[in-house]
Structure 1
Amino acid sequence: MQLFSTFENNIYLEIAISSLEGVGIKQEAIYAVPLDNRTEKRKVFDTLHRSDGTSLIDIGVGLATAFSVIGASIGFELRWGPIFCGLIAAFIGFVIGFAIRLFTEVILNKRKLLKGKKSEVIVIIDCEKAQCEVVENILWEHFALGVAKVE
């Protein structure tokens, strides 16, 4: 039987492996594989086939709506009228909102990170069916992020 588990790369992984060896699992039956993290930088603009869930125009659309209402209200007293003043104010609001979002996403580099903990090491353990319960408990006690059994 094989057990697969994922861990962060910390001292608890080493303690879990030592505990497994203490229970009678041979060192040759424990296989730990570190994962490579993404080195490619995220792209700012989305494509039709890939999206990261962040939008650069959400603040711009909100500000465009607010500015257009204010611009149209003021436009009743101006020479150009409410329509042109509302459109100009909407464009200005959109540009300001887009600039704010672009600044926070690109220049400050505050992109969405993965929430929670990242798996960094996969541990594969070959054991007998009788030892499976004990091995699984040891993995959970030492803060495994996930555990799966395969017969």
Structure 2
Amino acid sequence: MEPPPLRSEVELAMKQLKDGKSPGYDNLTSEMWKATGEEGTDLMWRLCSNIWNSREWPKDWCRAVFIPLPKKGDLKKCANHRTISLICHASKILLKVISRRMKIKLQAEISDEQAGFREGRRTKEQIVNIRNILEKCREHKHPL
């Protein structure tokens, strides 16, 4: 089992929350969490640690507010709407900690040749590499 979140992980996750986002079911915005300072960080860290150790996600964190947003066209058609769901920012903090830990573990597992869906690596560069290899093979009349 992984150790519970460190205070520094929770603090980083809180700093990474984007401002100007709508609140979830609990009506607390990211700005409110950030404004709590050290006390809020300590509270969130203890809360995240308790959730981690109990292995039970709070029921309130599972609730979402669904908001239909109209697109262009006939608004009587469901296809002309898209839906967003607003979740609690407190939940996002723990999710960011988990996501960061998973990313670190995956980076160690994925080979260096893997480019797609990796931060700082693009598939375009791999395509250029393959084209260069193919050109070299053609120059030397190597059968593929």
TM normalised by structure 1 equals 0.22
Rg larger for: 1
Structure with a larger share of its residues in helix: 2
Q: Which protein has the bigger strand share?
A: 1
- Ranked by relative contact order (alpha carbons within 8 Å, sequence separation 6 or more), the top structure is 1
